[in-house]
Amino acid sequence: MGKPDASPAAPPGGADAIALAAQLIEQLDGGRFLPTLFEGLTREVAIRNFIVFAYRQGFAAELVHSNLDIEHLSRQMQPYTNGLYMLDPFYVADMQERRQGLLHLHEVAPEDFEQTEFFVAFYASVGVLDEVHYVVPLAPGRSVHLFLERESPAARFSPAELARLHALTPLIDRAVRRHWAWRDRALAASQAAPIRSAGGIDGVIRNMGAGQLTPREAEVIALSLRGHSSKLIAHRLGISEGTVTNHKRNVYEKLGVHSQSQLFSLFLETLSREPRPA
């Protein structure tokens, strides 16, 4: 892949699309990019669920962001992330057929979709009425999917709505690529460079909260960022799982984030500001 451009392409037209482009440019290198993108898309069409997955062949699917309760969604999507995603018609269209851009369910679903193992084992239980994906390839075997979903009693996406979403494809594609380049750089920097902050990850978390977080909240978030589930955190700290959830809710409110992915983005931003050894 070539070096990403400094900013996304201009939108095809319309005041909302121009406003979205301007807002995305401001958020390209930050944790507010995906929420800003969702907010902009909802000005174009009604969206019930906004879910972002990152895929890399040979690795488990990664739930990156959603407007939904991320912990509940993670539990609901566990069969999907554990391997069912390989049967997802959108994933197949991306990885096997090399299709990208805006894809509608009716374009990618096989004949007799409702009789497939994927539908019976998983899709029928999630309650999705209609779905489109922005499929953004990052490299061979690696891509990001933006799920835009509707549930009953909403109507399916109309041809006019699909046309509006299609028109935004160049903007979405370039902006997501550019944002993911920032995420990759931030993650590589956090893994490659030693941290001078007192207390390592705990010191970075204290800096994230600027003194707002209690010691227990900082403990919970440190364990969460290390990948521990709420159940395991509760066991390790000797508290109930409900207390862990309350601590997380308080931290999210104090830090102005709404999901684990936004918390991680804030962690990366804070980490990038930490002083490094010469």
For residue 52, what are the contacts with CB-CB under 8 A and spacing of at least 6? 34, 63, 64, 65, 66, 144, 145, 146, 147, 261
DSSP state of 123: I
**Position with higher pLDDT, 16 vs 190:** 16
Distance CA 123, CA 12 (A): 34
Q: Which of 28-42 are b and which e, b meaning 16 or more Cβ less than 10 Å from the residue's Cβ?
A: bbebbbbbbbbebbe
Distance CA 220, CA 241 (A): 11
Residue with tokens 């805006």: 102
Long-range contacts of 92-95 (CB under 8 A, 24+ apart): 93/135, 94/55, 94/135, 94/137, 94/143, 94/145, 95/55, 95/57, 95/141, 95/143
User: In the structure encoding, which two tokens stand for residue 69, read together?
Assistant: 């309760």
pLDDT over 90 at 151, yes or no:
yes
CATH fold label, 195-273: Arc Repressor Mutant, subunit A (1.10.10)
Query: In 106-157, where do the E strands start and end?
Result: 130-139, 142-150
**Average pLDDT value for residue range 4-22:** 63
Would you state the pLDDT for residue 167? 94
**Mean per-residue pLDDT of the chain:** 84
Would you state the pLDDT for residue 206? 75
**Average pLDDT value for residue range 249-260:** 86
Residue 220, SS3?
Answer: helix
CB 99, CB 135: distance < 8 Å: yes
Each residue's pLDDT tens digit, 168-214: 999 999 999 999 999 998 877 765 544 444 445 667 777 777 678 88
User: In the structure encoding, which two tokens stand for residue 225, read together?
Assistant: 């960022």
Would you state the pLDDT for residue 180? 96
DSSP state of 153: T
Q: Of 4, 53, 3, 2, whose CA–CA distance to 173 is shortest?
A: 4
Give the strand order in the sheet containing 142-150: 62-66, 49-56, 142-150, 130-139, 101-104
What are the structural domain ranges in the chain?
A: 15-188, 195-273
Each residue's pLDDT tens digit, 51-81: 999 999 888 899 999 999 988 898 888 888 8
Would you state the pLDDT for residue 15? 67
CB 170, CB 9: distance < 8 Å: yes
Superfamily of domain 15-188: Transcription factor LuxR-like, autoinducer-binding domain (3.30.450.80)
Residue with tokens 């994933």: 91
Label residue 274 by pLDDT band (50, 70, 90).
low
CA distances from 194 to 168, 191, 197 (A): 40, 8, 9
Would you state the pLDDT for residue 196? 46
SS3 content of the chain, % helix, strand, coil (to 5): 55, 15, 30
